[in-house]
Amino acid sequence: QVQLQESGPGLVKPSETLSLTCTVSGDSISSNRHYWGWIRQPPRKGLEWIGSGYYSGSDYSGGTHYNPSLKSRVTISVDTSKNHFSLKLTSVTAADTAVYYCARHVGSGDYFDYWGQGTLVTVSS
């Protein structure tokens, strides 16, 4: 059974960098079968795709796709030795307060079939 678990600080100050990690069990990030993605949900609002990455064999840089509205601030990277992938979002504001989900992104159909439980990140001083 594939499981994903987000981890990271629950509180980030404005203008700083939000950093989250998603640890995967039951599947291998380095297997090249899937993308791995991040989706967020502001309180009482809908879902927003942040970006997804694909392990290309050397690093993630050749296989990443980002939401255009966030692209300038987002980096997704992977650590195959720990079977986890990470999200960095720079220069955060209160508008970045949300529950952040990691998910397995099925590349053949571009949908998300396994999700983490989500982690709330609040941006506040």
Nearest CA to 75 out of 19, 22, 4 is that of 19
- Pick from 36, 38, 60, 116 the residue near other proteins by CB under 8 A: 116
Cβ pair 121, 49 in contact under 8 A: no
- Residue 43 within binding range of other proteins, rule CB under 8 A: no
Shortest gap between Cβ of 15 and other proteins (angstroms)?
26
By CB under 8 A, which span of 11-19, 26-34, 67-75, 80-88 interacts with other proteins? 67-75
CA distance 60 to 71: 15
CA distance 117 to 61: 26
By CB under 8 A, which span of 20-28, 55-63, 81-89, 115-123 interacts with other proteins? 115-123
Residue 45 or 82 with smaller CB distance to other proteins: 45
By CB under 8 A, which span of 8-16, 24-32, 89-97, 102-110 interacts with other proteins? 102-110
- Pick from 8, 21, 79, 106 the residue near other proteins by CB under 8 A: 106
Cβ pair 14, 123 in contact under 8 A: yes
- Pick from 5, 7, 8, 49 the residue near other proteins by CB under 8 A: 49
Nearest CA to 23 out of 71, 108, 83 is that of 83
Provide the β-strand partners of residue 3.
25
Q: Six-digit token pair at 22?
A: 């998603």
Q: Name the site residues for other proteins (rule: CB under 8 A).
A: 39, 46-49, 52, 65, 67-69, 101, 103, 106, 109-113, 115-118
